[in-house]
Amino acid sequence: MQLHETLAALQQRHEAIGASVASTPQQMQALELDYHRLLSLHPEHPALLFGLGTIYAQTDRSGAAIALLRQSIDRGSHGPEPWLNMAGAYKNEHKDASAAECYAQALRICERLQRRNDKARRQGKVPPVDPGLLIANRCNALHGMASLYVNAGQPAEVIAWADKALAINPQDRFALWNKALGLLESGRFAEGFRLYDEAGFMTGGVKPPERKVKTYGGLPRWDGLSTGSGPGRTVICYGEQGVGDEIMFASMLPDLMRDCRVIIDCDHRLEAMFRRSFPQAEAVYPTSAWDAPFDWLKDHRVDAWVPMGSLGRYYRPDLAAFPRTPYLMADPAKIAKWREILGPHRGLRVGISWAGGLKKTRFDQRSMELRAWSAILQLPGIEWYSLQYHPQAPDETAQVGAALDVPIHHWGDVVADYEETAGFLASLDLVITVNTSLVHLAGALGVPTWCLTPVMCAWRYQCEGPMPWYGSVEMFRQAQAGEWGPVLEVVRARLAAMAAQQEAA
């Protein structure tokens, strides 16, 4: 087989794996091995460098991806595709300026190719570049630019770039998704939740969708209050994202339960709490894999299903529609247990968490070291309790506490189980935390919470004003990205006044 035929076969396999919901990591690994074998024979071939670099980008090996894609360009790769894939790799590493440069270069190439197509048409010739592919690449660059501003405190930029993509292709799912996040971030809930619901799902691809789809053996999807509602209808409502989002979106379950009989399919860590908090639900089951058999279905007559996040479309059209009241209940036995362990009050009981998230969810923006809290931790009249869940937390609390001669209590039991955490939170006077799922749990329980929020925050926290979901959560926002000092100074002053007031009482 000739090289160009072998290469074409590899590219077809690559496209098929990327487009199939049934693709497996093993298929991608086998494809990568075949690329390596061919590259060993032709180490400077631009298409091989491009293909292998693309695999690396798709499998989160960004540094190698950037190097290979750059080399493919230097060796003669044409078109916007290498620049688009390189932009994605830079974005994965949060190197947004470099990603933006790559997207801009891809757009310049698309514009040049468009001029060639336009010239060919004027001359009555066949356009040299596939118009459909050109549209797709332009949209990729435009919605890619939009994505760089998501969760960056610049929702207007998100919307503007997404609209440019939608002007070319109104059905571009990624542009619609990014626009949804921009709208939600700016508090435009009616339109934002509509797009969030319509564009948040995808049926295939190498990477998982933003939101999981579970059809429960082919049942229809609940389409809101216009149909499928009423006391004679039973709807499964399931959590489709992280546990923090599931807690947050559960605030809309009471709305749904006023319109339908509801079966809740939730994260196993929340099952007991949801059973206790939503006794009017027909049943509560722990979430299974999206393609599980769901054996419990046989025990119910079910009419439809709906993801929890989709409820916003029907029940939260504007800020006034958020009740901001507690809706979860901690286990009374757990509350009693922790209050007995804690004993009599010796001051304000304050729980703290100073780091959260993963690399993908901007751990670097959301977190700080505990030592940055030194001036706060030295305030008199306060009992400190660590709510930090990462493995280094016991050592960090011990070291900082010893250096400041301030006890900072850390119990592994508290953070190991949500039932324990909820019972412990209900025993505190205040929680001070960065953006983590702890905000959602404390807010849902109605525990007073101060949320330390970066400029670059997720839409759930909004760019300004209160957090819509919880009445007990107060926002303490950065004025400048990366600058926690002024935020901590405000927290210290407020907390000192609060401790003094309690001591005077």
Instruction: State both tokens at 31.
Output: 């494809």
Structure tokens at 486: 């002024």
Give the tokens for residue 372: 């940055």
Maximum Cα–Cα distance across the chain = 88
- 411: alpha, beta or left? (left if phi > 0; alpha if psi -120 to 50): beta
Query: In this predicted model, what pLDDT tens digit does every residue of 318-330 receive, in sequence order?
Result: 999 999 999 999 9
DSSP labels, 322-382: ----------HHHHHHHHHHH-S-SSEEEEEE-----TTTTHHHH---GGGGHHHHT-SSE
pLDDT score, position 201: 72
- State the pLDDT at residue 356: 73
Report the C-alpha dihedral over residues 354, 357, 362, 368, rounded to 10 degrees: 10
Both tokens of residue 182?
Answer: 């921009």
| CA–CA dist 434, 43 (Å, integer) | 48
pLDDT in tens, 118-167: 999 998 899 998 999 999 999 999 999 999 999 888 999 999 999 999 99
Residue 11: pLDDT band (50, 70, 90) is: confident
Question: Which pLDDT does position 207 carry in this prediction?
Answer: 42
Encoded tokens for 330: 């901690």
Give yes or no for a contact between 219 and 305, defined as CB atoms under 8 angstroms apart: yes
Within 10 Å of residue 354's Cβ, how many Cβ atoms? 26
- For residue 355, pLDDT over 90 is answered with no
pLDDT score, position 73: 93
Res 66 pLDDT > 90: yes
Average pLDDT over residues 486-497: 94
Inform me whether the pLDDT recorded for 12 exceeds 90.
no
Q: How far apart are CA 438 and CA 139, in angstroms?
A: 37
Minimal CA–CA distance to 324: which of 153, 462, 492, 196? 462
More confident residue, 184 or 366: 184
**Percentage of residues in the chain with pLDDT exceeding 70?**
92
pLDDT attached to residue 1: 58
**pLDDT at residue 196 above 90?**
yes
- Give the pLDDT band (50/70/90) at residue 489: very high
Q: What is the mean pLDDT of residues 199-220?
A: 69
Whether 206 has a pLDDT exceeding 50, the answer reads no
pLDDT in tens, 383-436: 999 999 888 888 888 898 889 989 999 988 888 899 999 999 999 999 999 999
Mean pLDDT of 448-461: 92
Measured distance CA(92)–CA(83) in Å, rounded: 14
* Distance from C-alpha of 465 to C-alpha of 462, rounded to nearest angstrom: 7
The pLDDT value given to residue 449: 97
DSSP string, 58-91: HTT-HHHHHHHHHHHHHTT--SSHHHHHHHHHHH
Q: Output DSSP code: residue 209.
A: P
Name the one residue in this structure whose structure tokens are 């990014």: 178
Long-range contacts of 319-323 (CB under 8 A, 24+ apart): 319/187, 319/189, 319/468, 321/189, 322/251, 322/468, 322/469, 323/251
Q: What is the mean predicted confidence (pLDDT) over 47-62?
A: 90
Please report, as a single letter, which amino acid is at residue 227. T
Long-range contacts of 219-226 (CB under 8 A, 24+ apart): 219/302, 219/303, 219/304, 219/305, 220/303, 220/304, 220/305, 221/304, 221/305, 221/306, 222/260, 222/303, 222/304, 222/305, 222/306, 223/304, 224/313, 224/314, 225/259, 225/314
C-alpha separations of 290 from 211, 216, 266, 337 in Å: 11, 8, 12, 36
| pLDDT for position 114 | 93
Could you read off the pLDDT of 260-278 as tens digits, one per residue? 999 999 999 999 999 999 9
pLDDT band at 238 (very low <50, low <70, confident <90, very high): very high
Contact status, residue 111 vs residue 117, Cβ threshold 8 Å = no
Mean pLDDT of the chain: 89
Residue-wise pLDDT for 293-313, tens only, equals 788 999 999 999 999 999 999
* Contact yes or no for 158/191 (Cβ under 8 A): no
Best CA proximity match to 250, nearest among 274, 234, 231, 271: 274
Please return the burial class of 246, using the count of CB atoms within 10 Å of its CB with bins 0-12, 13-18 and 19+.
buried
Task: Map tokens 């007559």 to a residue.
Answer: 301
**How remote is the C-alpha of 80 from its chain's centroid?**
28
What is the pTM assigned to this prediction? 0.89
Residue 194 has pLDDT above 80, yes or no: yes
208: confidence class by pLDDT, cuts 50, 70, 90: very low
- Return the amino acid letter for 372: A
SS3 462: coil
Check residue 309 and give its pLDDT. Answer: 94
Low-confidence winner among 52-56, 134-138, 338-342, 479-483 (lowest mean pLDDT): 479-483
**What does the pLDDT read at residue 345?**
82
pLDDT at 26 over 70: yes
